[in-house]
Amino acid sequence: MQLGHPTLRQRDTEEDSTSTIHTTQTMAPEPTRARKAPRSWDALTPSLAQWVLDYLSSMGFEQPTPVQKSCLEIFRGNKDVVVEAVTGSGKTLAFLIPVVEVCITLISCCQ
């Protein structure tokens, strides 16, 4: 004994096989976005003192982290900054570079 209309049963089967085909097909890979070249320490504005750039290079810091890029300009403009970021993101160096630059400038001006 068959239940339902045979045409409807056949259509259901076709839909099922079609949906199976659609779910087993692989999707095209997403296009890769061109990444911008990372900015080096030289590209920061205002630029860092040459001795700071030399020291950063000698310590192996090739480019600033995103935290450093966003904070250094603000710190060096004598503004308050609050940063919440993971350990190792460069917060301390972003704070110390402007402090050391100001200290060295004050020491050299007062002598």
The model's pLDDT over 22-81, given as tens digits with 9 standing for 90+, comes to: 434 455 566 665 555 556 888 887 788 888 899 999 999 989 999 998 888 888 788 888
For the chain, the helix, strand and coil percentages under 3-state DSSP, each to the nearest 5 = 55, 0, 45
The answer to whether 38 touches 65, Cβ cutoff 8 Å, is no
DSSP-derived letter for residue 43 is: G
- At residue 10, the pLDDT reads 46
Domain boundaries, the chain: 41-110
- Look up the pTM and report it: 0.56
